[in-house]
Amino acid sequence: MTAFLLHRIALILPTLFFVSVLIFGLQQLLPGDPALALAGENQDPAVIAFLHQKYHLDQPLPVRYALWIEGVLQGDLGESIRIKRPVFDLICEKLPVTGELALLALVVALVIGVPAGIIAAVKHDTAVDYGATMAALWGLSIPNFWLGILLILLFSVKLGLLPASGFVSPGDSLKQNLLTLAMPAFVLGNAIAAVMMRHTRSAMLQVLGSDYVRTARAKGLGELRVILHHALRNALVPVVTLGALEFGQLLSGAVLTEQVFTIPGFGKLIVDAVFNRDYAVVQGVVLCTAMAYIALNLLADVAYVLINPRLRT
Amino acid sequence: MEGSNRKAEISAVSAVEIIDDHTVKLVLKAPFAPLLAALSDRAGMIVSPKAAQAAGDFVNRPVCAGPYKFVERVAQDRIVLERFADYWNKEAVKFDRIVFMPIPDSTVRLANLQSGGLDMIERLAATDLETARNDPRLKLSTITGLGYQSLSINVNNGARAKNPLGQDPRVREALELSIDRAALNEVVFNGLFQPGNQWVGPSNPFYVRSLPVPARDVAKAKQLLAAAGAPNPRVTLMTTTVPEMMRAAQVIQSMAAEAGFDITIQATESGAAIQASVDGQFELYLNRWSGRTDPDGNLYNFVSCKAPPALNVARYCNPTVDEELDAARIAGDAASRLAHYVKAADRILTDRPLIYLWHPTWLFAMSAKIGGFEAYPDGLIRPQGMTMQ
**Quick check: is B214 in a domain?**
yes
Nearest to B278 among A36, A85, A157 (CB): A36
B277 and B377 within one domain: no
Neighbours of A241 (CB within 10 A): 16
B309 and B212 within one domain: yes
**Quick check: is B207 in a domain?**
yes
Instruction: Please indicate whether, in this complex, the C-beta atoms of B311 and A51 are within 8 angstroms of each other.
Output: no
Give the global pTM: 0.86
- Give the gap in angstroms from C-alpha B118 to the nearest C-alpha of chain A: 10
pLDDT for A50-93, tens place per residue?
989 988 888 999 999 999 999 988 889 999 988 889 999 999 99
- Residues from chain A that touch B101, judged by Cβ atoms under 8 A, are 166, 262
B366 and B310 within one domain: no
- Least confident interval from A90-104, A128-142, B79-93, B299-313: A128-142
The model's confidence at residue A144, banded by pLDDT at 50, 70 and 90, is: confident
> Which amino acid is present at B70?
F
Q: Is residue B115 less than 8 Å (CB to CB) from chain A?
A: yes
Which pLDDT score, from 0 to 100, does residue B9 have?
A: 87
Which pLDDT score, from 0 to 100, does residue A247 have?
A: 79
ipTM for this prediction: 0.79
CA closest to A83 among chain B residues: B75
pLDDT for B259-290, tens place per residue?
999 999 999 998 889 999 999 999 999 999 99
**Quick check: is B83 in a domain?**
no
Which pLDDT score, from 0 to 100, does residue A1 have?
A: 66
Q: Is residue A156 less than 8 Å (CB to CB) from chain B?
A: yes
Tell which residue, A17, A1, A3, A2, has the closest CA to residue A294.
Answer: A17
B224 and B166 within one domain: yes
**Quick check: is B82 in a domain?**
no
B211 and B163 within one domain: yes
Instruction: Please indicate whether, in this complex, the C-beta atoms of B311 and A43 are within 8 angstroms of each other.
Output: yes
Tell which residue, B125, B231, B94, B120, has the closest CA to residue B171.
Answer: B231
Which pLDDT score, from 0 to 100, does residue A313 have?
A: 52
**What whole-number distance in Å separates Cα of residue A41 and Cα of residue B303?**
15
B317 and B281 within one domain: yes
**What whole-number distance in Å separates Cα of residue B176 and Cα of residue B357?**
9
**Quick check: is B300 in a domain?**
yes
B373 and B337 within one domain: no
**Quick check: is B63 in a domain?**
no
B386 and B342 within one domain: no
- Least confident interval from A129-133, A210-214, A287-291, B315-319: A210-214
**Quick check: is B21 in a domain?**
no
pLDDT for B138-173, tens place per residue?
999 999 999 999 999 999 999 999 999 999 999 999
Better-scored residue on pLDDT, A32 or B324: B324
Which pLDDT score, from 0 to 100, does residue A200 have?
A: 87
Q: Looking at residue A309, what DSSP letter applies?
A: G
Q: In this structure, what CATH number is given to the domain that contains residue B216?
A: 3.10.105.10
Q: In this structure, what CATH number is given to the domain that contains residue B119?
A: 3.40.190.10
The residue-averaged pLDDT of B29-41 equals: 93
**Quick check: is B72 in a domain?**
no
B112 and B188 within one domain: no
- Least confident interval from A30-39, B183-192, B194-203, B350-359: A30-39
B322 and B375 within one domain: no
Its domain, for residue B270, covers 148-359
Task: Compute the mean pLDDT over every residue in chain A, rounded to the nearest whole number.
Answer: 85
B166 and B135 within one domain: no
User: At residue B212, does pLDDT exceed 80?
Assistant: yes
The model's confidence at residue B123, banded by pLDDT at 50, 70 and 90, is: very high
Q: What are phi and psi of B63, to 5 degrees?
A: -130, 115
Which pLDDT score, from 0 to 100, does residue A268 have?
A: 84
**What whole-number distance in Å separates Cα of residue B19 and Cα of residue A62?**
53
Number of domains chain B contains: 2
Q: Kindly give, in sequence order, each residue whose CB lies less than 8 Å from that of residue A231, ignoring residues fewer than 6 positions away.
A: A204, A207, A208, A213
User: At residue B186, does pLDDT exceed 80?
Assistant: yes
Which pLDDT score, from 0 to 100, does residue A192 have?
A: 87
Task: Compute the mean pLDDT over every residue in chain B, rounded to the nearest whole number.
Answer: 94
Neighbours of B171 (CB within 10 A): 24
Which pLDDT score, from 0 to 100, does residue B1 have?
A: 72
B262 and B316 within one domain: yes
- Give the gap in angstroms from C-alpha B231 to the nearest C-alpha of chain A: 34
Which pLDDT score, from 0 to 100, does residue A14 have?
A: 87
Nearest to A262 among B103, B269, B310 (CB): B103
